[in-house]
Structure 1
Amino acid sequence: MSIAVLGPTFQNLAQNVRRNVSDIYFVFVGRSLGYLGGSVLGGVLFDCLNAHLLLALSMLGTTVGLYGIPWCKKSLLLTVLMSVIGASMGVLDTGGNVLALNTWGPEAGPHMQALHFSFAIGAFVAPILAKMALGSSEPRDLPVGEKGNQSAPRPVPTASAPLALRHRLGAEFLWSYVVIGTYLLVVSFFFFILYSKSGSARDKSKAAVQKHRVAKHHYALIVLLFLFFFCYVGAEVTYGSYIFTYAKVFAEMNENEAAALNSVFWGAFAACRGVAIFCAACLYPGTMILLSLLGSAAASSCLAFLARHAASLWAGTAVYGASMATIFPSGISWLEQYTVIQGKAASLFVVGAALGEMCIPAAVGYLQGRFSHVPVVMYTALATSAVTVLLFPVMYGLAKASGEGEAKTRVSESEDRKALLSNSGLNEDEEDEEDAGEWNEADFEVIEMNDTLRNSVVDTSRKGPGDSPAKISLQPHPDDASGEAPAGGSPGRKTTNADREKND
């Protein structure tokens, strides 16, 4: 919501600072630079500070920026506040992924999909909220001559009417930022509560336990996934930004049809992210990535070579949007299966996505201006799909090699541990915990010896009445020879032997 509310209120921000819309483009640059800086800073801080505290502070910083933006009368101050919001969003994106992985571990797939689905919900809600706040002011901005067809009579504007309308428009424009800022303030309050109930000692112990899970090709996997997200996010933002223009120029659609085509892309994107929450509960992250890559490759091929046909354009856009929806959260969940993802690694993923969002659309815009007759956006979608399809098998091979190496290491460590335990002077309780299989073999030996004892007792009782039964009771018990200790043995051992003797 904090990011998406800027679009529908951008004109009002320009009016507040007394500039044209084209003159405050640096607002986006400031927010992007703040986002990159916040991502890097968050990656460093999340490895040494409490995650709940950092998320609470980042949302509190976003709240301060949202409360201050509507009151900005200077473009420099507006750029500074946008940079603060961008930095807070960078920390939040990095920390949200890390916290989800640390909280749910190998079961973080559905939760990671739900986290990224909330991004789509916020992007959908924010323009509606801004439209509701500004909707009542739109008729007042129309010329007087265009109000003659309205049924209700309007008062004649006076000299002070423009000033009054400007103040009223500013008040309505303020509400959209106040509502979103207040919502973030409430959420940050709950994160402060979680911080007060969590201890740093537990976080340090968890980090110490996770250190041995670093894969053999850890850094290679991080760099490859960085490039993977660079291409994926760049392609996603590029297609969503240029499909409207492509539909009007190359497909010769009117504005309503082009807007509907753009809505199909983002609607399929959001809907598929919602469905992925349930799919992640029964599918592996690698399977979801593979299905997404196949869908994006097929859709981008259709768009690159058959987009002149209306049916291919609509179907390809819907499939392409649905295929792009689950790659980012599934990629993070997939890598978590093979190596630990800490703050610095998560920040690299976010930085890669941000760089792809900045560089690829800019390159496409430059090339489209130089080659106006070439559908650069479609060829870009095909090229990025090909790169991601080639990168994933390489990442899978490295992860598989790391997994096999760790498995062999665990097997050798287990064998060494068993050898040390067999030669050490452990007490009987520790042997019960470590070597449960040896207890089972000993139980069978005890059963056989008990059977031998019963047979000898029966044979002795048949020898004659002159034999004293005390002699039999004075014979050494076979259980003593088997090494069974009544006090130090396994608690359930006697009961198990009695049941087996009863069955025999």
Structure 2
Amino acid sequence: MTEKSHLLESSNQSYIKRHVIWAAVCVSVVSLARMCFGLCAGLIGPTLQYLAANTNSGVDKISTVITGRSIGGIVGSLTFSFIATRMESSRRFHSLAVATLLSGLLFISTPYMRSIITLVLIQTLAGITHGYFNSGIQGWYLSKCGETRSRSFIQLHQFSLSVGTFLAPLIAKPFLEMESQNNRNLSTLTPDTAIEHSQHSVYFDPVSWSYITIGAIATFVSTIFCIVATFKIENMVAETADMKIGEKSEQPLREVWIFIMLVVMYMFCCVSGLIIYQSFIYSVAVSSALKMNEGKAAILNSLYYAGYGVGCGSAILVSRFVKPSKIIIVDLIGSCSVSIIMNVWGEHSEPVMWFVTFAIGFFGATLLPSGISWCNEVTNMSGKYIFVYVVVVVSILNMVFGYYGLLHQVSRV
């Protein structure tokens, strides 16, 4: 009897270990896909002037690219919310893999758009895939992992995006330098040689290769994603849970509408502050009494993303032991404190500017994912209510502040 029990225990341990490995593979692929969306989003800003030259557009027209992506995000998030309760779990997960694949292909085609209308259309479609994926994965984590275990995964979801947005300018830098060098060389060519060089560079210019590189990475990751979805490996995430997951019922809107409104106000304040700071810190650093040069201001902008990434990364571990409400309180106190410091000394002290920029990203990084986990304690956020995060908050604010932030930054610099 003892021998049989020992064999049964060994068999169970082997089964659990095997499922843990497959669950780790699944979560890794999902995180890589999220990072790819961050790469795609992060490359638009550094190459926006290139896209404007490609489409022969001014700043006011090229800014509609940001608006188009935001509108696409709204449509994509609403689409997932609509089909969340009408499609079985495995098919929903497979659709998220397809969304990643479409995003990579759309991104590869972006630098070859010669009309502002087609460029905005392509970016709107890319926004749809991003909104669909963003809502879908967060809802999937909540439904598969339960209220407690999903906290770290949602923090990981945000961390993966920050990694992508941080790496995108670094990937683009050598291509942008090659483009700049080509432009300098072009100015020294004879007219006939310049025409030949221009015709050869229409489809093979360096900046296009930055889009191709990131698009190829997204396409490769999405292929692995599709394989994972086909074999239903995502079910291992729930099967390896050390507790029984009971999915919270989704309350009717008439019973939670007041709560939803308060959540919208909370997220509006959180995201608007982050987007405003992110959009204006570059121009403030250059145009304020600090008079930073463009190189320092660019590093300052990267420091914000570094703080954001460190905040998300540390929260992956902390959220396993600390309730979302306590993380939110610490974040609010920290954000308010550094904002006061910024208002008093920020524009007159360079060390204060560096510190506040990192701290704003650090404290702001966990406000949103902790807010989602906190909301899930009240009502089920894995279905149609997940759209509140993307639609009402992120997409609309990106559409407004992204547009005017770009105009302000270009006009000041």
Give the TM-score normalised by structure 1: 0.63
Q: Does 1:160 align with 2:197?
A: no
SS at match of 1:283: coil
2:216 aligned to which of 167, 182, 190: 182
Counterpart Cα distance in 2 of 1:267 and 1:136: 26
2:226 aligned to which of 177, 185, 192: 192
Q: Does 1:326 align with 2:363?
A: no
Contact 1:230 1:357 in 2 (8 A): no
How far is the alpha carbon of 1:192 from its aligned partner? 2.7
Counterpart Cα distance in 1 of 2:226 and 2:297: 45
SS at match of 1:142: helix
Counterparts of 1:324-403 in structure 2, within 5 Å, are 324-351=364-391, 352-359=393-400
1:353-390 deviation per Cα after TM superposition (whole angstroms, max 9, x unaligned):
2223334566889999xxx9xxxxxxxxxxxxxxxxxx
Contact 2:290 2:347 in 1 (8 A): no
Unaligned runs of at least 5 residues, structure 2? 1-38, 237-244
Amino acid at match of 2:99: S
1:408-436 deviation per Cα after TM superposition (whole angstroms, max 9, x unaligned):
xxxxxxxxxxxxxxxxxxxxxxxxxxxxx
Counterparts of 1:245-324 in structure 2, within 5 Å, are 245-255=283-293, 256-310=295-349, 311-324=351-364
Contact 1:58 1:91 in 2 (8 A): yes
Structure with larger RCO (C-alpha < 8 A, sep 6+): 2
Q: Does 1:73 align with 2:133?
A: no
Counterpart Cα distance in 1 of 2:370 and 2:394: 14
How far is the alpha carbon of 1:90 from its aligned partner? 0.8
Q: 1:167 to 1:100 in 2, by over 3 A?
A: farther
How far is the alpha carbon of 1:307 from its aligned partner? 2.8
Higher Cα Rg, which structure: 1
Counterpart Cα distance in 2 of 1:200 and 1:257: 44
How far is the alpha carbon of 1:336 from its aligned partner? 1.9
1:81-115 deviation per Cα after TM superposition (whole angstroms, max 9, x unaligned):
11100111111111121112122212112211111
How far is the alpha carbon of 1:15 from its aligned partner? 3.1
1:434-461 deviation per Cα after TM superposition (whole angstroms, max 9, x unaligned):
xxxxxxxxxxxxxxxxxxxxxxxxxxxx
Partner in structure 1 of residue 241 of structure 2: none
Contact 1:40 1:348 in 2 (8 A): no
Counterpart Cα distance in 1 of 2:198 and 2:216: 26
Q: 1:366 to 1:44 in 2, by over 3 A?
A: same
Q: How many residues align?
A: 355
Contact 2:342 2:352 in 1 (8 A): yes
Counterpart Cα distance in 2 of 1:279 and 1:231: 24
Counterpart Cα distance in 1 of 2:208 and 2:297: 31
SS at match of 2:247: helix
SS at match of 2:179: coil
1:300-346 deviation per Cα after TM superposition (whole angstroms, max 9, x unaligned):
12222333441443333332221111111111122223321133211
Partner in structure 2 of residue 82 of structure 1: 123
Amino acid at match of 2:359: V
Amino acid at match of 1:72: M
Q: 1:60 to 1:361 in 2, by over 3 A?
A: closer
Partner in structure 2 of residue 42 of structure 1: 80
Q: 1:111 to 1:301 in 2, by over 3 A?
A: same
Contact 1:47 1:342 in 2 (8 A): no
How far is the alpha carbon of 1:65 from its aligned partner? 1.2
Unaligned runs of at least 5 residues, structure 1? 148-155, 203-207, 373-504
Q: Does 1:98 align with 2:119?
A: no
Counterpart Cα distance in 1 of 2:95 and 2:40: 18
Counterparts of 1:137-152 in structure 2, within 5 Å, are 137-142=179-184
Q: 1:271 to 1:157 in 2, by over 3 A?
A: farther
How far is the alpha carbon of 1:233 from its aligned partner? 1.1
Amino acid at match of 1:10: L
Contact 1:52 1:191 in 2 (8 A): no
Amino acid at match of 2:42: A
Q: 1:211 to 1:319 in 2, by over 3 A?
A: closer
1:2 aligned to which of 40, 46, 64: 40
Percent identical across equivalent pairs?
A: 26
Q: 1:107 to 1:318 in 2, by over 3 A?
A: same
Pairwise CA RMSD: 3.2
Counterpart Cα distance in 2 of 1:191 and 1:299: 40
Q: Which moved more, 1:21-30 or 1:291-300?
A: 21-30
Counterpart Cα distance in 2 of 1:357 and 1:78: 18
Contact 2:282 2:298 in 1 (8 A): yes
Counterpart Cα distance in 1 of 2:221 and 2:311: 26
